[in-house]
Amino acid sequence: MYPPEDVAPRVVYLVVFHLSFVMFVWSYWKTIFTPPASPSNEFCLSKADKEQYEREERPESQQEILRRAAKDLPIYTTTASRAIRYCDRCQLIKPDRCHHCSACDVCVLKMDHHCPWVNNCVGFSNYKFFLLFLMYSLLYCLFVAATVLQYFIKFWTNELPDTQAKFHVLFLFFVAAMFFISILSLFSYHCWLVGKNRSTIEAFRAPTFRNGPDKNGFSLGCSKNLREVFGDETKYWLLPVFTRETCKLYRFALSSLQNGRFPACRELGESGRKVVRQGAPCAYRCTWLEAAWRAASTGK
């Protein structure tokens, strides 16, 4: 349209523009097409339990069945009325931080929200991609607005050649600036959530642990919370690839709990299968289960 006169800025503009555009499209794509993660089969009721649950009419007896089924599962949170969190629709005991999405009609692990902009649930499987998508769209809008700014100023001082293209400058600047401002507020909010290790749902309603609602129940401190979402290896933080290796076991053992000790993640590698008698396939990478356990046990 109105390219800079020198070659150097042209090259820089081209490189930065395409780089931010590619990263933006890549993370957007991953956010849209990564299916939400659902709880593993261990959280479903057994056939016998399901039949018994359906036969029972009294909520107390139903809760008793659920309590029995949830005994060996690593669950630390309940409903506000201290009942086991159960999804009638999927017929499963909800793991901590899991919520049923009515739009996807499925229980979603660490559900954050259902996002109409990406027509997908944002949760455990794609939260990192969602954040990168916001970040790269910000960068993209900022770059467009910044490079158009000088022509935008010229538009108002009547220094632009009188062609149709001068209205493109106006439009481009306003759209880029508008998106930048609206995404900035959303991105800042999510940065705050990541720092606190909260999902949007938990920010509105604190999860209930043994000793009551605790909005910081999953927090491990800012740096660890960041790693919860972006993974341990900083070199992958800016790439929309899944870096939270899902462990094969819930790092949880009843025996450890009884000993008053939560097993460290590294203690439960493949060999953990032998140690953890009731180990179920992992729903999450469990460092924040450690926080949940701490929150739960302070009430003891």
Q: Tell me which residues touch Zn ion (CB under 5 A).
A: 87, 89-90, 100-101, 103-104, 107, 114, 121
Rg for the chain, CA atoms, rounded: 24
Tokens of 89: 């629709």
Q: Which residues of 206-226 are buried (b: 16+ CB within 10 A; e: fewer)?
A: bbbbbeeebeebbbbeeeebb
If the CB atoms of residues 100 and 224 are measured against Zn ion, the closer one turns out to be 100
Among 87, 104, 115, 191, the one annotated catalytic: 115
C-beta of 102 vs 158, nearer to Zn ion: 102
Pairing of strands 113-115, 99-101: unpaired
| Residue 83 C-beta: closest distance to Zn ion, Å | 16
Please tell me the distance from the alpha carbon of residue 22 to that of residue 3, in angstroms, as a whole number.
21
Q: Which one-letter DSSP state was computed for residue 239?
A: S
Q: Which residue has the tokens 């016998």?
A: 48
Question: CB-based burial of residue 146 (10 Å sphere; 0-12 exposed, 13-18 middle, 19+ buried)?
Answer: middle
Task: Provide the CA 205 distance to its chain's centre, in angstroms.
Answer: 16
Phi, psi of 208 (to 5 degrees): -100, 120
Cβ at position 73, least distance to Zn ion in Å: 16
Shortest reach from residue 190's CB to Zn ion, in Å:
17
| Residue 114 or 128 with smaller CB distance to Zn ion | 114
If the CB atoms of residues 126 and 256 are measured against Zn ion, the closer one turns out to be 126
Per the annotation, the verdict on 222 as an active-site residue is no
Helix (H, G, I), strand (E, B) or coil at 208: strand
Q: Which residue is it, tokens 């780089």? A: 19
Find the shortest distance in angstroms from Cβ 106 to Zn ion: 6
Minimum distance, C-beta of residue 104 to Zn ion, in the bound complex (Å): 3
- Nearer to Zn ion by C-beta: 71 or 89? 89
State CA 149 to chain mean position distance: 35
Question: How near is the Cβ of 252 to Zn ion at its closest, in Å?
Answer: 22
State the Cα–Cα distance between residues 23 and 154, nearest whole angstrom.
31
C-beta closer to Zn ion: residue 93 or 131:
93
Concatenated DSSP letters of 143-204: HHHHHHHHHHHHHHTT-S-SSTHHHHHHHHHHHHHHHHHHHHHHHHHHHHHHHHT--HHHHH
Looking at the annotation, which residues are catalytic? 115
